[in-house]
């Protein structure tokens, strides 16, 4: 959040502050906040918890060097964040809504983890899922335009059934000569889709289905020294030379006729 670098000391206060900022300019009824953040508490406890959280938010603003009343209005019935404030979440949402390559790349830089990870209030969970869905959409669009294998792996971490992501990684591994790694990703794709009763498309299998796990063998890698066998190597060289010229066959035939004549 621009202008405020400190954070409230408690998880609930942080979640409440985030909620107010993301709904800045809108009045939130205290009853609604109590139901959203303390749904299982009795009304009196929920009311006290809300007051404590608001006190923590005010202290956070003051620690950042701003007058609390310039950002937060709290009456007996409503709470409202009034200061124009930009948060990473709202900025990410704006960029993610644009079908533009540069905006999408910028959105990926902003998304550094799930929204309020570790908080399981109903509002937080719903917002986390909504932003995560936007994030997956951005990853898909960036992948389609760039074929970036790093983006593909980030997408698979979110959606292990995305065939296009596997294809991008396989192509990248093949481009660098890593056939075994490419084949492993093909097999990983098959296993992932099998978990949901699916299998890779015909196009995917046609492109990658016959990749071998073994790396191609280079002749220089299997060449071994013929050490300590000089005489044998010399005879072998002579024999190969004779065979190529036909001399060995001639000598063998002549020698056989001479032997037959002696008999």
Query: 78 CB contacts (<8 Å, ≥6 apart)?
Result: 27, 28, 29, 30
pLDDT digits (tens, 9 = 90+) for 140-194: 999 999 999 999 999 999 999 999 999 999 999 999 999 999 999 999 999 999 9
Res. 211 pLDDT band, cuts 50 70 90: confident
User: What's the pLDDT tens digit per position in 5-62?
Assistant: 467 878 999 999 999 999 999 999 999 999 999 999 999 999 999 999 999 999 999 9
Please, which pLDDT band fits residue 255 given cuts at 50, 70 and 90?
A: very low
What 43-51 contacts at long range (C-beta under 8 Å, 24+ apart), as own/partner pairs, is 49/12, 50/16
Task: Domain ranges for the chain, please list them.
Answer: 11-81, 87-146, 147-219
Taking CA atoms, 239 is separated from 21, 23, 234, in Å, by: 89, 90, 9
Q: What is the mean pLDDT of residues 222-247?
A: 52
Whether the pLDDT of residue 259 is over 60: the answer is: no
- What percent of the chain stands above pLDDT 90? 70
Is the pLDDT confidence value at 199 over 50?
A: yes
Two tokens at 235?
Answer: 């005879």
What is the pLDDT, as a whole number, of residue 3?
44
Phi-psi region of 133 (alpha: psi -120 to 50; beta: other; left: phi over 0): alpha
pLDDT for 86 equals 87
Q: Residue 2's pLDDT is what? A: 43
Query: What is the overall mean pLDDT for the chain?
Result: 84
Q: H/E element holding 110? A: helix 101-110
Name the least confident of 117-126, 139-148, 232-241.
Answer: 232-241
Pick among 1.10.10.10, 3.30.230.70, 3.40.1180.10, 3.40.50.300: CATH of 11-81: 1.10.10.10
189/149 Cα distance (integer angstroms): 14
Torsion, Cα of 200, 206, 207, 213 (10° steps) = 80
pLDDT at 251 exceeding the cut of 70: no
Sheet with 28-29: list strands edge to edge: 28-29, 78-81, 72-74
Query: Is it the case that residue 219 has pLDDT exceeding 50?
Result: no
For the record, the structure tokens of 230 come out as 């000089």
């Amino acid at each position: 959040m621009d202008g405020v670098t400190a954070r409230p000391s408690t998880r609930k206060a942080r979640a409440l502050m985030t909620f107010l900022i993301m709904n800045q300019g809108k009045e939130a009824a205290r009853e609604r906040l109590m139901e959203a953040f303390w749904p299982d508490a009795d009304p009196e406890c929920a009311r006290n918890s809300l007051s404590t959280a608001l006190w923590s938010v005010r202290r956070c603003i003051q620690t950042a060097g701003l007058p609390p009343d310039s950002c937060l209005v709290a009456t007996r019935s409503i709470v409202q964040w009034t200061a124009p404030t930009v948060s990473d979440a709202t900025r990410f949402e704006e960029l993610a809504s644009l079908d533009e390559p540069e905006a999408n790349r910028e959105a990926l830089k902003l998304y550094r983890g799930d929204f309020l990870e570790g908080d399981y209030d109903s509002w937080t969970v719903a917002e986390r899922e909504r932003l995560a869905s936007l994030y997956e959409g951005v990853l898909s669009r960036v992948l389609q335009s760039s074929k970036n294998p790093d983006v593909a792996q980030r997408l698979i971490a979110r959606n292990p059934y995305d065939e296009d992501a596997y294809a991008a990684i396989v192509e990248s591994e093949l481009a660098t000569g890593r056939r075994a790694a490419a084949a492993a990703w093909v097999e990983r794709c098959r296993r992932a889709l099998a978990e949901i009763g699916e299998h890779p498309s015909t196009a995917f299998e046609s492109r990658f289905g016959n990749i071998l796990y073994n790396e191609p063998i280079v002749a220089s890698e299997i060449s071994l020294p013929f050490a300590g066998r000089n005489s044998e190597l010399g005879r072998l060289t002579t024999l190969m030379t004779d065979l190529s010229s036909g001399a060995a066959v001639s000598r063998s035939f002549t020698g056989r006729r001479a032997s037959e004549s002696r008999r």
